[in-house]
Each structure stands twice: as structure tokens, then as C-alpha cells.
Structure 1
Amino acid sequence: MSSLAAALAERLGAAHVSTDPEACALAGSDLFEWPDAVPAEIVIRPGSTAETGIALRLLAEFGRAVVPRGAGMSYSAGVVPKGPAVVVDTTRLTSISIDAANLTAVVGAGTTWQALAQALAPHRLRAAQASPVSGSVSTVGGVAAQNLPGTMDGILGLAVALADGSIARTGALTLQHAPPFWRHMGPDLTGMFLGDCGAFGVKTEVALRLAPESEAAHGSFGFGNGAAMMSALVEIAQSVPVARAFAMDPVRVRGAGDLPAMEALRTAGAVAARAGSVYRAMRDVAGIAGGGTAVRERSRPAEAAWTLHLTAEGLTEAVAEVGIEAARRIAAAAGGQEVSATIPRALRARPYTIRGLVGPAGERWVPVHGMLPLATARDCLAALEAAHVAMGAEMAEHGIAVGHMVSSAGAYVSIEPMFYWRDALDPLHLKHLADSSRARFAGFAPNPAARALVRRAREVLFGVMDAHGAVHAQIGRFYPLASRMDPGAAALLVRVKSMLDPRGRMNPGVLEGSQG
């Protein structure tokens, strides 16, 4: 190992090769705890596509497994080694090249979405590709590797370092003597590498479609139950061109008396801790004081079990308001009551944050998700709520809170049940907390019983969603894939993997499902 580390240091620079135990442990983790995870053997941080290829060529000579990694803000073990491996940390790949005239950009895979947004702001442009709320640290390459709920059509091409160190360029990046403006020319090789969780190679550059900034209008509505909310959301998705729709319910706290600030999690505002700036907006509106234990909600009617939040876009705010007015009629017909649109306005004003990495009192947070067909979303939500009831007594015993985030930006509905519980935080959590929060939350005792229950509950819930036709992003080593595919498609997936990575060294175990 020392000879490999030395050889890598010679090629990448000693500052970009680490065998430090703390760095290797951090590089072997994500937002959940995986009992069979192992630390990285070595962590490398190449600074270019060429350096990545050089490193992978050397690792192939040594026969080492490789795990590509961005910020690690996932929860499905897709960046977590399950055996000896070298982690390729892509966060030095931060180049940004903007072609405003052709509405494209080529960026390093380690570029954060927030850094890209800041670079595009002077051009009054934005990435057409959807991006995660955690984009203050989450990377463009992470989205390409993990997928997001909804379309990936905003990605025009990729540079990928393959297992043998060769570099493949796809889509817009294959064009010679032309700007990288078009993805589809011949077979869509870009699509093959999207959502592969690093099984096919290390993404190093991403070509993106850009779009002009637009004006927006917003609307928020309270509903008495999930069925009414989902009926409105589905009809809006079917008939109204809103850019974004998401809904939240109050976190359900059962038996959480030993969690001093969990009462705050009863509010939709605290559920929005998942979205950071949204939580702050709701905190201000709701009047949460004294560490979050006194709650006064002004933006949500007392009887509302769910709130639905909409953003429509247009050339002018008046044009965008046309979409909100159409959605307003649908929401009212479903029993929705209009409330202040503080949350969608706040999220548009500041779309990126990771304050929701933990709960407001430092509780561990982990979700599970599924993307549902519009026609089955209402029945799926009802089945999930029944599953919560069935697990209620056990959840109460372990002080576990459950809430939901539901969203849509197209012809689908994403449902994301979220679990909160008091437990020791991992180095990845502590790395991204503010100093004051780190001091408050770093000393929590481990709670393995609650963690085990959350692990089992997540399996139950994704099974419920799969029974209603769900698909998943960031498959990692958690969500089933091949077992749900047409046999011919599953066989093709194996053949592609064997062709690109004949020795099975690229992120072994990902795409295999249920924790690899």
C-alpha cells in the first residue's frame, strides 16, 4: 500500500493523496450508517480529467477497487466502500467554462451547484438541469452519477475516466471543431453513464444546458389530509405548467419525550429543515423561540395536515401568475385553503443549503424515496401512512419521528418519507455543521436500536413504494434494480458493466440493490 500511495503522490502531488485514518474514514461514509462499510485505503484528489485517467491507469496496474465520490451527501451507500478500495474524491475538479451565446457550460464534476449558480448569475442564466437543495456542497458530477427525481435532459455530455484509465467523451463533448451544444448525435452514450453510481467510470466533466433566468409567481395551500393534497398535486401536474411543486406534512412525533426540541418538529416549518432556508423562513413566520420549543403558526391553518407549495415561471411575473391561478382553482376544488407563500419564495431566493442535514435539535435525519406514476401516487401515500400506523408503537418506543416531502416537476410524484431520531452524529455530519451546532450536537450517545429500526423501516417503505410502481434515484447499494428489470435489460446491464470494467473494480456492489 505504501508503494501505491507513493506512486500516486508522484503523479498527483503528495498534498492530494492521503492515507490519514480520519480522512479515509470520512471518505468511506455517507449520511446513514452501514454496518459492513470499511474506510478507504487511500483517498486521492485528482485535479483534471487527465490526472484522473493517470490515477486510474495506475490503480488498474495494482488491481485496486475504485469508489468515485463527490460530497457524499447520499443515503444509499453509493459512495461507501464495502471492501478495500481507493476513493477518488472529485472535489478538486472545479473548472467552469460558460458559453453564454450558445446557452451551454462545461464544468468540472466536483463543482458545487451553488458555485455554478454564482458563476452564471452575471449572465442572468441558470442551469436547465434540476439540482438538489444540498447544492451548497453537492456536486454536478454527483447528480450525474446518482440521478435526481425527474429528468436528466439538462446534461448534454460527459467526460468519464474508465476503469483502465482511458477517457470517454459523450454527447456534446464528442463534437470536434464545434461548441458543445448538442447531446444526441447517434446513440445516446451520455445516458449510459447517468445514474450509474460510478459503476461505469469516474465522471470528470459535465456539459450542461443553460436557460435564461425567469420571473416567478408562488402559491401555498393547506389541506386537511394527504389524500386531498395528493389529488390536487396530481391534477396540477397533469394540467398546469408549474416549474416546481412540493408538499410537506408535520413530522409525526410518537413517544419522543426524551428529545428536548422535538416538539418543534411537529410543525411544517421544522419539516422544512430539510430545506434550510425554508426552515428559517418558517421559523420566522411561526415564531419558534427558545431553541425551537414554542411554536405559533401563522402561515398554516391549524387544521391543515399538509401544505402544498407551488412555483410557476414566465417571461413576466404576470405570465407566471396565470399558472398559479389555474393551480389555485384546482387546490380550492380539492379542499385546499390558500396560505402565505413564504416557503416557495424563500426556497427560490436561496435554493441551496445543508442546514437540514440534521434536525433542529441535532437529530439524525435520513429519508427513503420513490418516484411514482401520477395515477398511483395517491394510493401509494395512503399505503405509506398505513405502514406508519403499523410501525407506530415501535417507533414511539425508540423516539423516532417521521415526516414527508412530496414533490413533482413533471409527469411523476416523488414521495420521500424522512426519519428523525436522537443518535450520535458521524464525521460527515460534523464536518458541515456550523461551529456552534457542532459544539451542541457532537456529544450525543449512539442509539443503535433506533438506527436498526430506521434501517428496517426504510426497507418496508421502499417495498410499499415499489409495489405501486416506484423507481428510484441514487440506487447505490440500497434500492433493487436488476430484480425489477426486464430480463433482457438486466442482461444488457451486466454486459455493459463487463465490457467497461471486466475485473469489476469500479465501485463494486453498486446497482445490485438492498445494500449490495
Structure 2
Amino acid sequence: MELMMMQSNPADKLAALIEELSAVLSPQSIQSDLSSRTLMSQDVFCKKEPAALVVKPETVKQLASLMQISTKHGYAALPRGGGMSYTQGYVPVQQNSIIVDMSALDQLIEINTDDMYVTVQCGCSWEKLHKALDGTGFRTPFWGTLSGRYATVGGGLSQNSIFWGSGQHGFAVDSVLSVEVVLASGHIIRTGSAGQLHATPFARHFGPDLTGLFCCDNSAFGIKATATFRLIPSLKYHDGLSFSASSFAALSSLMSEASKQGLISECFGFDPFLQAQRMQRESLGKDVKSLLGVMKSAGSLSKAIKSGTKVALAGRNFVEAESWSAHFMVEDRTEAGMQHKLQAIEAIASKLDVKAIENSIPKILRANPFGPVNNMIGPQGERWVPVHAVVPHSKTQQAYQVTEQVFSENSELIEKFNIGIGYLVATVSSMAFVLEPVFFWPDELNELHKHAVETSHLKRLKGFPPNPEATKAMEKIRADLVLAYSQQGFIHMQIGKSYRFKEGLAAENFELLKAIKQHLDPTSSMNPGCLGL
């Protein structure tokens, strides 16, 4: 009764929440100032009303306690990892919300090379996890995103990330064995073999796959506190190839065929516009740092000199201005095996309308896998946001045509607001092709941009004044794309609150998810709005 009376006064309600949280969290772990709440409540694209509170648990026990307390007081909890997403996954939809900052839960718990797994707290960045395994001779199959300096393990599992290792081993969630999940009630669930009493998290499948239930969910069912990943041997030999193509059709054919034959560890490409943006964005200073990274990773002095010289001589103009480009990274336990894969890709390319170019981009990226996140804004300080579709290889052309049709229908808005559009494309294991239109438009940067992008980089940029009409136009174009993709049956990663998951899902499937949500989170305290729940 007392709690119900307090609910009539939001200030009293919040004060009561803070008082009880203060008994389990340190004072510095509770932030109520507007600046912190504003920063932590926005993502790369969306900024709405800030959460009422930001809390930062330092232990799993604290996380469980704060979930029990916040649920009792009627507050929704939204976990935030590195903040590098753009689909409103942790953006509040109601005033009585708290952001759960996972950054203090970032410890390595166990590296077990006998049983081939590693367990880590979910606030750990992909970069930190990868570095912790360096020197062991092992790594995780999927080992991070390009934003992995900030992006976290928990965020990657909630959003279903791709990049490092994806060409061979699939999505981030394909590498996880077990998760430890804190529910809205504060209770803890352990999945996979770890759900068996007295067992370790060495295997994913012990009965129904509960691990999968808590992946790709944007924490709609619970907050992942720890995760266990498979380990595989680190492969000593790696190299790359790059090609240019005059059309998307030729480029995607090359990428799909190499993907289906299982030749690549990573595979991605750019259209001419996005290549030009990339070249404008990078500085001479970063070129030098990247070159040093290439030379250090070469393995020997002679290889270092050769690799460094080739990249330096290629400069920035190794791709023709009007061409698409595709970039392949391969790895193997022997040099002969690596060369076999490179030759197989070259054989595929020889049958298509593509030509080999200097492989500077694969070399630089592999040598510097977790760089700054300066690419989250345009070369002059423009706003940036992608949208994507994941499709089977047979539908890559269809996806491209659907996208171009939406752009044609919005051509007046695109021209009026000077919206630049490029494409990033990638493959996932042997099964999927990712088409990701990328947008740049003139508008002022938000607090997250200024927090995450290097200060030295920001100082060089022209920047833009507020331009809400341009951003509104972007929202409309993006929504049109999302609708068109849904109507074609295309799927998505990092669903959040931006993609039409509920609308495109079979009714029976969604009813099952609703029933699970009701059982695990009857008061809808876990990230309400995600997945349409």
C-alpha cells in the first residue's frame, strides 16, 4: 500500500528507488544528473527523453539485487553495453526507466584451454577479450566487431553482431555456449550444460536450447551477466585479396561464391560512394599508424618491408573512382593452406567481370582490428546511420533492386536535404549476404558522437548546425526501407525497436514469445518495446 501511494508522486517514487538501490550499490554507481542520463539514454541515431537513472553494477550479485529492486518499484531496466548500436535497443520508451550501465562487469572469469572455452562478464569489450586470449594459442570463433574497442560481449549477443570471424564462423551468437542471465525478478538462469547441477559450461546443447532464447533478444527476456564462448586454435597464416567491379551484380557474385565454398574468414565490400567517404575521412597520421600495424603483423622483417612497401605505394587511389570493391581475408594453419584459399578465390574472380587491386584494406584492418570509432560520423562531421537486410545468396539482387526502388521513390527528399547514400556489403558463413545502405546527412552531432569519436578527429571537422528536418527525412527513408525489407521476408540483426519484427513474424511464433515474456517478465520490466514485446 505504501509503495502504491508513492507512485502518485514521481519524485517520491524515484527517491524511494534511489534509497533502496543505495543499500546495494556504491554511491558512484548511481547517477541521476541530467548529463549522464542524456548521454547514456541515446544511441548513434536516436535521442529521446532520458532515463530517470543510470546505475552501474560491479558484481553479478549487485545486478541481481538492482533488478529485484527496480522491478518492485515499477521501473523498467535497459542494459547498455558500448553504446555503438542504432536501433533504439537501449533507448527508453517510458519515463520510469533506468539504464543499466554494464561497463564495470568486464572481467575475464575463466580461460579453459583443456575444455576449450572462455567465460567472461558481458560488459567486457571484444577487444579486451581478444587481447586476453592473445598468447594462449586460442581465440573465439567470432572475435568481435569493428567497433570492438567499445562494443561489448553482451551487446554483441543481444544484437547478433558480425565481422571478425563471421565469414567462416557466422554470427556472434553462433560462438556462444552458455549465458548467465539475470531476470526481472532478480533470479538467475544458467543455460547449456551450466544449467545442469555440478556441471561446467562446456557445451551448449543439454535439452532445449535455452542459450539461443537469450540471444538476439535485446535483453527483452533478461540481462546477460556472463557468457561462455567456444575456443578454437589461432591460425598462424593470414592474408587477403581485393577486387574492383563495375557493378553490384559482379561484386556480389564473387562474394557469394567465395562464401559458399568456405574460403574466407571475413568478406566485405563497398560501393564507390562509401569508398570515397572512407578515403576522405582518414588522416595522414592514421595512415602512418595503420602502416606500422601492417608491418608489425607481417611476421618477419622481410615480410614487413614487403607488406609495408606495397601498401604505401598503393596509397589511397588503389580503387577506381566508379568501381565497387570487395575485400577477402583468409587464414589457415599452414602457408600452403592459406595460398590454396587465395588461389581458389582468384579462380572464381577470373570467371567474373572483376579485377584484382592492391589488398591494402584487408592488410590494414587485420593489423588494426579494433580502431577508433571515427567512422560513426561523416568526413565533414555529418550524421551517419545504416540500415540493413540479411538475405540468402539467391536474393542479393532482389534486395539491391528493392533498396534502389525505395531510393528512387524518395529522390526528392534525398536531393533536398543533401543525403549521401553508400553501401556496405558482407557475407556471413556460407549462408547469408548482408546488404547495408549507409546514410550521411548534415545535422549537428549528439552527445554520444562527441563522447566516442576522438577529440583530435572532431577538431578537424567542419560540422553542421541543427537540421531536424533533414533528420526527419532520414527517418522517413529508413522506415520505408524497413517496411520494404519486411514485405520481402528479409531478416535483420540488432532488431531493437527499429525493425518490424512483430509485424513480419508468424502469429504462432510471436504468441510463443509473448508467453515466454509473460513467464520471465510478467510486469514488462525488461527493456519494454524491444522485439515488439
Of 21, 41, 52, 1:41 maps to: 52
Q: Determine if the alignment matches structure 1 residue 158 to structure 2 residue 171.
A: no
Quickly say closer, same or farther: Cα 1:485–1:350, change in 2 above 3 A: same
- Residue segments in structure 2 that go unaligned for 5+ positions in a row: 1-13, 163-169, 295-313
Q: Tell me how far apart the structure 1 counterparts of residues 323 and 487 of structure 2 sit (CA, whole Å).
A: 25
Q: Is the 8 A contact 2:71 2:184 kept in 1?
A: yes
Deviations, residues 82-109 of structure 1 (Å, cap 9, x unaligned)? 1120111111101102112222111011
Give the CA deviation at 1:120. 0.7
Structure 2 length normalisation: TM-score? Answer: 0.86
Matches within 5 A, 1:319-338: 319-338=337-356
Q: Tell me how far apart the structure 2 counterparts of residues 165 and 272 of structure 1 sit (CA, whole Å).
A: 46
Deviations, residues 29-80 of structure 1 (Å, cap 9, x unaligned)? 000124xx22111111011111100111111221211111111111110100
Number of the residue aligned with 1:95: 107
Structure 1 length normalisation: TM-score? Answer: 0.89
Number of the residue aligned with 1:474: 494
Give the secondary-structure state (helix, strand or coil) at the position aligned to 1:403: strand
Q: Determine if the alignment matches structure 1 residue 129 to structure 2 residue 129.
A: no
Q: Tell me how far apart the structure 2 counterparts of residues 175 and 232 of structure 1 sit (CA, whole Å).
A: 45
Q: Tell me how far apart the structure 2 counterparts of residues 272 and 165 of structure 1 sit (CA, whole Å).
A: 46
Q: Tell me how far apart the structure 2 counterparts of residues 98 and 64 of structure 1 sit (CA, whole Å).
A: 36
Q: Determine if the alignment matches structure 1 residue 190 to structure 2 residue 211.
A: yes
Q: Tell me how far apart the structure 1 counterparts of residues 37 and 265 of structure 2 sit (CA, whole Å).
A: 40
Matches within 5 A, 1:224-373: 224-251=246-273, 266=276, 269-270=279-280, 297-302=316-321, 304-353=322-371, 354-373=373-392
Give the CA deviation at 1:155. 0.6
Give the secondary-structure state (helix, strand or coil) at the position aligned to 2:134: helix
Q: Tell me how far apart the structure 1 counterparts of residues 258 and 402 of structure 2 sit (CA, whole Å).
A: 22
**Alignment-mate amino acid for residue 415 of structure 2:** A
Deviations, residues 377-426 of structure 1 (Å, cap 9, x unaligned)? 12211332343344334212212111111001321001111001221111
Q: Is the 8 A contact 2:380 2:462 kept in 1?
A: no
Q: Tell me how far apart the structure 2 counterparts of residues 377 and 469 of structure 1 sit (CA, whole Å).
A: 13
Q: Tell me how far apart the structure 1 counterparts of residues 460 and 424 of structure 2 sit (CA, whole Å).
A: 27
- Aligned residues with identical type, % of pairs: 31
Q: Is the 8 A contact 1:250 1:271 kept in 2?
A: no
Q: Determine if the alignment matches structure 1 residue 412 to structure 2 residue 439.
A: no
Q: Tell me how far apart the structure 2 counterparts of residues 271 and 231 of structure 1 sit (CA, whole Å).
A: 29
**Alignment-mate amino acid for residue 434 of structure 2:** S
Give the CA deviation at 1:333. 1.3
Give the CA deviation at 1:232. 1.6
Q: Tell me how far apart the structure 2 counterparts of residues 209 and 494 of structure 1 sit (CA, whole Å).
A: 31
Q: Determine if the alignment matches structure 1 residue 71 to structure 2 residue 82.
A: yes
Q: May I ask how many residue pairs the two structures share in their alignment?
A: 484
Q: Is the 8 A contact 1:227 1:382 kept in 2?
A: no
Deviations, residues 282-318 of structure 1 (Å, cap 9, x unaligned)? xx9xxxxxxxxxx98431134x521011112211233
Q: Tell me how far apart the structure 2 counterparts of residues 162 and 393 of structure 1 sit (CA, whole Å).
A: 47
More displaced stretch, 233-242 vs 304-313: 233-242
Give the CA deviation at 1:366. 0.4
Quickly say closer, same or farther: Cα 1:279–1:502, change in 2 above 3 A: farther
Give the secondary-structure state (helix, strand or coil) at the position aligned to 1:75: coil
Q: Determine if the alignment matches structure 1 residue 119 to structure 2 residue 136.
A: no
Deviations, residues 354-386 of structure 1 (Å, cap 9, x unaligned)? 121212222211000110111001221133234
Q: Tell me how far apart the structure 2 counterparts of residues 277 and 462 of structure 1 sit (CA, whole Å).
A: 36
Give the secondary-structure state (helix, strand or coil) at the position aligned to 1:123: coil
Q: Tell me how far apart the structure 2 counterparts of residues 251 and 225 of structure 1 sit (CA, whole Å).
A: 13
Alpha carbon RMSD of aligned pairs, Å?
2.4
Q: Is the 8 A contact 2:423 2:438 kept in 1?
A: yes
Give the secondary-structure state (helix, strand or coil) at the position aligned to 2:45: coil
**Alignment-mate amino acid for residue 394 of structure 1:** L
**Alignment-mate amino acid for residue 112 of structure 1:** S
Q: Is the 8 A contact 2:46 2:91 kept in 1?
A: no
Number of the residue aligned with 1:453: 473
Quickly say closer, same or farther: Cα 1:357–1:267, change in 2 above 3 A: closer
Q: Is the 8 A contact 1:278 1:346 kept in 2?
A: no
Give the secondary-structure state (helix, strand or coil) at the position aligned to 1:300: coil
- Residue segments in structure 1 that go unaligned for 5+ positions in a row: 253-264, 285-294
Q: Is the 8 A contact 1:370 1:466 kept in 2?
A: no
Deviations, residues 196-252 of structure 1 (Å, cap 9, x unaligned)? 111111111011112221121211100001111112222222224212111101227
Quickly say closer, same or farther: Cα 1:242–1:417, change in 2 above 3 A: same
Number of the residue aligned with 1:292: none
Give the CA deviation at 1:444. 3.3
Quickly say closer, same or farther: Cα 1:272–1:189, change in 2 above 3 A: farther
